[in-house]
Amino acid sequence: MSMPFYVAPEQLMKDKADFARKNIARGRPLVATVYAEGILICAENQSRSLHKVSEIYDRIAFAGVGRYNEFDALRRAGVQHADIKGYQFSREDVDARSLANLYAQYMGNVFTHEMKPLEVEILVAEVGTRQGEDQMFHILYDGSVVDEDRYSVLGGDADVIAGRLQEAFEVDWDLPGATRSAARALAGPDRTPVAADLEVAVLLRANGQRAFRRLDVEEVAELLVAPPENGRDGPGAPAASAALPSGEAGGPGSEGLEGGGAGESGEDPPSPG
């Protein structure tokens, strides 16, 4: 009589977590930070049509890293849920906290009961009517929710990027300063941030009900240019015209997750093994 195959629950959960973390870390990173006028979300993304940052509802934004088809499905489900809830009840009943809890329940169920966990981390951000009321919820692959109050980092070498962003963080910084610091945190000391390689969106407090706004390449390039005064950015800050070296982290061909198919990332998805 053959013995049934058995894996200890602790080992099974550890293997799933290691699998998800490894593949998410291969994705191009993303940072979000509060600033004086709202919330800034900046991601490494060379595609102009496949967005990692999108609007969910009114004053709520969604961002994701990892396997593109998986977090885009979560985005669509969030939009549908928010629309139905806002229609059945009121628009004020749709908030980032309840949406983050819904995502956390679903991602936790997949992690616990399915063979393969979701290879994604997502961010749900909501801009408040007053400064200090902004909310950012970082949802991990296993359904864990982290309530961020100043900034959040997803994907890539998150700890290192968070350390660089923490050094530059200012409570009331303006949009240009926040954009430059976020881009430099993503690029690191050995690379120069380039507007064409970034996807930048903001939730503007002053925009009223529809707070989400995506910045085009020209606007991002202007924001990346350091001011002429000798200030925090300094005259020697990197210009926005240099190109990323090919083959480095975040450059072309460095990621096999986001995009998920031909014409998106340029690589085949990693095999489950």
Q: What pLDDT, in 10s, does the model give residues 47-97?
A: 888 999 999 999 999 999 999 999 999 999 999 999 999 999 999 899 999
Does 250 map to a domain?
no
Which domain does 115 fall in, by range? 23-224
pLDDT of res. 3: 54
Averaged confidence pLDDT in the chain: 84
The domain total for the chain is 1
User: Per-residue pLDDT averaged across 27-37, rounded?
Assistant: 93
For the entire predicted model, the pTM comes to 0.80
pLDDT of res. 228: 63
pLDDT of res. 270: 46
Instruction: Mention every residue, 6+ apart, whose C-beta is less than 8 A from residue 25.
Output: 155, 156, 157, 158
pLDDT bucket at 193, cuts 50 / 70 / 90: confident
pLDDT in tens, 157-176: 999 999 999 999 998 899 99
Strand-by-strand arrangement of the 135-139 sheet: 53-57, 60-66, 120-126, 135-139, 145-148
pLDDT of res. 128: 92
Strand-by-strand arrangement of the 38-44 sheet: 151-154, 30-35, 38-44, 198-204, 212-215
Query: Which CATH number do you get for residue 65?
Result: 3.60.20.10
Does 249 map to a domain?
no
